[in-house]
Amino acid sequence: EDQDEFFRVSTGKLPDLELVRDIVNQAYERFADDRTGAVADYIPALARVSPDLFGISVVGVGGSDVGVGDCDHMFSIQSISKPFVFALVCEAVGAEGARARIGVNATGLPFNSVMGIELNADRTMNPMVNAGAIATTSCVPGKTAEEKFRFIQEGLSRFAGRQLEVDEEVYTSEAATNLRNRGIAKLLEGYDRMYWDALEATDIYTRQCSLNVTAKDLAVMGATLAGGGVNPITHERVIDTRNCRRVLAALATAGLYEQSGDWLFEVGLPGKSGVSGGIITIAPGKGAVSVFSPRLDEAGNSIKGQLISKYLSERLGLNLF
C-alpha cells in the first residue's frame, strides 16, 4: 500500500512530543491485528515466544520517550547486537582497522549464508551478517573469552543505559543448536579471517545475542547512535562521533541482509533486525524507533516491525533522502 501521501518533510528534528505520541498510537492501532508471519523456530527457546507480543518505542536524541504496547517486555537482542559490537570494535581498533578485518560491503545473501563466504573475496563480508559478526566479536579486546564477553556486556549496557543480562534459557538453547555458526567460524579460520579461537568466538557471539533487552532499551541504544554516540538518558558518551557514522553506514548497507535495498528504498534510514522480533530504525540527529513483534517474514525480519518503521519514517518525517 502506498502511504506516500501522508509523508512529512524532514525538519531536522522529531515533531513535537504530542504529535509523536499520536502518530505512534495510530501506528500501533493500525497494525495491531496483523497476524501474518511466524516466530523463529531454528532456536528452540525462540519458538516458545508468544507471537502476538507487540510494542513500539521512540526515543529522541534529547531524551524524549514515547512507548506503546509491550515496550517493556524482555526478549533476546539477537542480531541487533551486531551494530553495537561493531561500534565497540571500531572504538578498539579504529573504523579503518575494523573495515580491514571484516569488510563493509553488501552481499545480497541471507544472514547465515555460507555461500557468501565462498563468493566474497574478503570472506567475512560485513559486520551485520553472521560471518562478519562472529569475526567482529573475535576482535573484541580481552585476554580471555570471559573478559571479551564482559567487554561486550558492559559496552552494550552503556548503550542501553542500564545493566543488560543474558537470558540463560535462550543462550543454552542456541548454544546447543548453533552448529551452522560454528561451521561458519571454522571456515573463516581456514581463510585466516578469525581473530580469536573460532569456537570460543562463536560462543561469545551466542552469549551476546542472548542479552535481554526491551523495545525501550533498543530505542535508547539506537538513539545513542542517532545522537553521535551520547546516550540520551545517561548523557554518557559511549562511542566517538566519527565511529557512529561508520556504524550507521554499515547498517544502511546490510542491516536488513538481502532486503537492505528494499528497506532503504522504503524507510530511507539505517535499520537492524533480529530473529527474536526486534527491529530498530535510526534517524541521525533525531532519535530511534524500535518495534518488538516476533512474527517474521522469510528473511527473518519482523513483519510488523517493517510496516511500523515505514509508517513512522513517513509520518514523523525521518527519511534521510
Smallest distance from ligand DON to CB 106, Å: 15
Find the DSSP H helices in the chain.
Answer: 17-31, 44-47, 81-93, 95-102, 115-119, 130-138, 145-160, 168-175, 179-190, 198-209, 215-226, 241-254, 260-266, 303-315
Is 79 annotated as contributing to ligand binding? yes
Nearer to ligand DON, 21 or 182 (CB): 182
Smallest distance from ligand DON to CB 243, Å: 23
Closest listed residue to residue 157, CA positions, set 206, 100, 212: 212
Nearer to ligand DON, 80 or 220 (CB): 80
Rounded CA separation 19/21 (Å) = 5
Q: Name the residue number minimizing CB distance to ligand DON.
A: 79
Nearer to ligand DON, 29 or 298 (CB): 298
Find the binding residues for ligand DON in span 155-174 (CB under 6 A).
Answer: 174
- Residue 58 sits at φ, ψ, to 5 deg, of -125, 125
Find the binding residues for ligand DON in span 263-292 (CB under 6 A).
Answer: 273-275
Binding string, 39-78, against ligand DON, x = CB under 6 A? ---------------------------------------x
| Cell representation of residue 25 | 498510537
Closest listed residue to residue 116, CA positions, set 133, 100, 139, 99: 133
User: Is residue 28 part of the contact set for ligand DON (CB under 6 A)?
Assistant: no
Is 174 annotated as contributing to ligand binding? yes
User: Is residue 301 part of the contact set for ligand DON (CB under 6 A)?
Assistant: yes
| Cell representation of residue 90 | 571500531
Smallest distance from ligand DON to CB 208, Å: 9
Binding string, 94-123, against ligand DON, x = CB under 6 A? -----------------xx-----------
Maximum Cα interatomic distance, the chain, rounded to a whole number of Å: 55
Is 181 annotated as contributing to ligand binding? yes
What residues form DSSP beta bridges with 69? 55
| Cell representation of residue 281 | 530504525
Smallest distance from ligand DON to CB 95, Å: 23
